[in-house]
Every structure is written in structure tokens, then in C-alpha cells.
């Protein structure tokens, strides 16, 4: 798989390149947010299979990477993008997922050190899935007033969190060590209880859940 990395720390870029190479991927390009936007903005640009981008980058060291990701997604809605962020704050993720969640990932940078999880996120996002960092989900749910989630059972809440992370029913079943049928039942219950329509695919489900949490959450 051809991967482009936007990362200004040479050390980390080096480590990621070798990690991905060891997994059989090819890092076809790297640079800062600006140079990537320039390279990939044209309609005939050769798109990689995945763009991995840091959020904080020169020149201003604020959120160049995130803005570049949002911009490139508006030009190429099918370009899978995995954002590595230093910020656990929900607002950054909300900005990224504002126009869809298909083939989009938002994970904390520290997650990279957890190599297996990082590679899992790379695989899921490039395959059109959605990844939301568990810590971001935890924070979103933590900010939620408990009352309206009280309708959910404890197990349903666990399932909700995994749904919000963008995991498929099969992955949830795997994680919770239960049968697929049981997970499907939980998901139906959750969607019913929260008044959400049943969603055919995982990434739409993530979006619905995240939006529901966002709208009903306290600011």
C-alpha cells in the first residue's frame, strides 16, 4: 500500500517509515502540511492509498495538519486520511468528521507507540473504515450528563463506546468476547433507545453516534 506521511519530526518520520516498510507498505512521500496540500490539490494528482498526517506542524505549530486534512478531503472525498493528533480535545475530531467518516481516522499520536493498534488503525482507515481514538471517545462520554445514558445497560455502554471508536460488529464481538448475534442485539437496542435510525454501514453508524453524543453532550 502506498502511504504519504506529513510529519515534521524527522525522528518520528524515520521510525514510522521503517515500521510501515517492515509491514510491507511503501512510503511514497513525506513533507509538511503545506507541501502536501500543494502536491495533492491538483485534480490529476496521483493519490496515495492512505495519508497519515500530524496535526501540529510548521509554520505556526498549531493545527496545520488538521486543516490540510479537511481541505484535501473536500477535494478528494475518497482519500483515506489518518490524523495523528496531540490533542485529545473533541473539537478537533468534530471538525474532521464534519463531512463524513468514511476512510477517516483520528488517533492520538501516543497511540503510534502502540504499534499493533497503530497498524490496525492504518488497515481500517485505508479499507474505508472509521477510527476514533478510544481516549477521545472516553472524553466525549465523560462530558455527557449521565442521565440520558442511564437508559443503557452497562454492557450496552461498552458497546456504544466501541461503536463510537468506529469498530464493526465483528470487531466488537471479538473485543468483548461475545457472539456476533449478541452484539447485533445490543446495537439494535442502543439505536432504539437513543432514537437513532438503524445504519447499514459502520462509518455512518459512528457518525450518528458521535453526533448524538455531541448534540446531547454538555459544552
Partner 1 sequence: MTSDDGPAPVPQPRTLEDHVAPALVSGDAFFRAPYHPATWRAYAALGVGWIWHLTAGLTLWILVLVSAGVVPALGVGLPLLAVCLVAARWFGAAERARIAIQTGVTIPAPYPVPVARSLWSRLWAPIRDSRAWAATLYAFLAMFVSIAFFTIATALAAAAIAAVAFVAVGRSSALAEWSGLSWPATVVGALAGAVVLVWAASALAQYGSYLMVRLATILLGPSAADVAHARAAAAEQETRVAEAAAHTARERAVVLTESRTAAVSAADTERRRIERDLHDGAQQRLVALGVELGVARRLADKDPEHAVAALELAHREIKETLAELRDLVRGIHPAVLSDRGLDAALSALAGRSPVPVRVEVVGDLAPAGSAAQAAAYFVVAEALTNVAKHAGADSVWVRASLVPDDHPLRLRVAVCDDGRGGAEPSPGSGLEGLRGRVAALDGTFELDSPPGKGTRLTVEVPCAS
The Cα–Cα gap between 102 and 124 comes to: 10
* Residue 70: C-alpha distances to residues 82, 113, 146 (Å): 11, 25, 32
Closer Cβ to partner 1, 86 or 189, answer by number = 86
Contact between 56 and partner 1 by CB under 8 A: the answer reads: yes
Contact 147, 121 (CB under 8 A): no
State the DSSP code for 38.
H
The Cα–Cα gap between 38 and 218 comes to: 38
Closer Cβ to partner 1, 12 or 123, answer by number = 12
The Cα–Cα gap between 210 and 140 comes to: 9
Write the binding mask 150 to 169 for partner 1: x where contact by CB under 8 A, - elsewhere.
Answer: --------------------
Q: Which of 98, 115, 180, 181 binds partner 1 (CB under 8 A)?
A: 115
Q: Which of 9, 26, 188, 192 binds partner 1 (CB under 8 A)?
A: 9
Contact between 22 and partner 1 by CB under 8 A: the answer reads: yes
**Matching residue, cell 453532550:** 217
Contact between 122 and partner 1 by CB under 8 A: the answer reads: no
**Positions in the binding site for partner 1 (CB under 8 A):** 9, 11-12, 14-16, 18-19, 22, 56, 61, 86, 109-110, 112-116, 118
Amino acid at each position: 500500500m502506498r502511504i504519504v506521511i506529513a510529519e515534521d519530526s524527522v525522528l518520528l518520520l524515520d521510525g514510522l517509515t521503517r515500521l510501515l516498510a517492515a509491514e510491507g507498505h511503501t512510503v511514497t512521500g513525506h513533507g509538511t502540511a503545506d507541501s502536501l496540500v500543494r502536491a495533492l490539490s491538483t485534480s490529476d494528482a496521483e493519490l496515495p492509498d492512505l495519508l497519515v498526517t500530524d496535526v501540529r506542524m510548521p509554520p505556526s505549530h498549531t493545527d496545520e495538519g488538521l486543516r490540510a486534512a479537511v481541505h484535501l478531503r473536500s477535494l478528494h472525498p475518497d482519500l483515506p486520511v489518518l490524523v495523528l493528533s496531540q490533542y485529545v480535545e473533541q473539537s478537533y475530531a468534530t471538525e474532521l468528521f464534519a463531512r463524513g467518516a468514511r476512510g477517516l481516522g483520528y488517533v492520538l499520536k501516543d497511540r503510534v507507540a502502540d504499534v499493533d493498534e497503530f497498524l490496525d488503525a492504518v488497515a481500517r482507515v485505508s479499507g474505508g473504515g472509521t477510527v476514533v481514538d478510544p481516549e477521545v471517545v472516553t472524553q466525549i462520554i465523560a462530558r455527557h450528563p449521565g442521565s440520558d445514558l442511564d437508559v443503557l445497560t452497562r454492557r450496552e455502554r461498552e458497546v456504544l463506546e466501541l461503536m463510537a471508536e468506529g469498530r464493526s460488529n465483528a470487531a466488537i464481538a471479538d473485543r468483548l468476547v461475545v457472539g456476533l448475534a449478541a452484539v447485533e442485539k445490543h446495537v439494535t437496542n442502543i439505536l432504539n433507545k437513543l432514537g437513532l435510525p438503524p445504519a447499514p454501514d459502520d462509518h455512518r453508524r459512528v457518525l450518528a453516534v458521535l453526533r448524538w453524543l455531541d448534540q446531547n453532550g454538555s459544552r
